[in-house]
Amino acid sequence: MRHRKRVKKLGRDKEHRLSLFRNQVISLLKNGRIKTTLAKAKATRQWAERMITLAKKAAKEEKPERKVALRRLARQFIVDRVVTNWLFDEFPAVFEDREGGYTRIYKLGPRRGDGAEMAILELVAFPEKSFQDYYIHGKKHRAKKVAR
């Protein structure tokens, strides 16, 4: 019996599953919506909401060392530094009056090839400054190396 088994395995081992969730959360934060299967959307939603909650907690925090600690917790999961910075800079203002439920899932129906139930996972609100704008303007330019 599967009593008290809360992990959706999705037919993958632990490392593959976490990698899948990382990639989907990063894509969701960059684009605002992703199209995936219903089971993956429901499992990814938990991780995405957890990351947005970390960003909101860091924005409310007064101690700088606690802000850094929360940012490091998010960086353990979101491996893209630019996405993490964007999450902590832009998202707390968008979701400051919302206590959860940062994402929504729309069911699309079965996929044509294998009949898997498809869905769109999207953020309820999206920052006005898109990720592409943030990435272009927020990117630090490195000094060119001088040939010796």
Domain ranges of the chain: 14-137
Band of pLDDT at residue 141, cut at 50, 70 and 90: very low
Q: What is the pLDDT of residue 39?
A: 95
Q: Which residues contact 134 (CB under 8 A, 6 or more apart)?
A: 82, 86, 89, 90
Band of pLDDT at residue 132, cut at 50, 70 and 90: confident
Query: In the chain, which ranges are E strands?
Result: 33-37, 103-110, 117-123
- 42 is written with which tokens? 């429901």
Q: What is the pLDDT of residue 129?
A: 75
| pLDDT-wise least confident of 1-5, 16-20, 45-49, 133-137 | 133-137
Q: What is the pLDDT of residue 71?
A: 94
* 51-104: pLDDT as tens digits: 999 999 999 999 999 999 999 999 999 999 999 998 999 889 999 899 999 999
Q: What is the pLDDT of residue 128?
A: 77
* 31-55: pLDDT as tens digits: 999 999 999 999 999 999 999 999 9
H and E: helices and strands count for the chain = 5, 3
Task: Tell me the CATH class for 14-137.
Answer: alpha beta
Q: What is the pLDDT of residue 137?
A: 62
Q: How far apart are CA 55 and CA 73, in angstroms?
A: 10
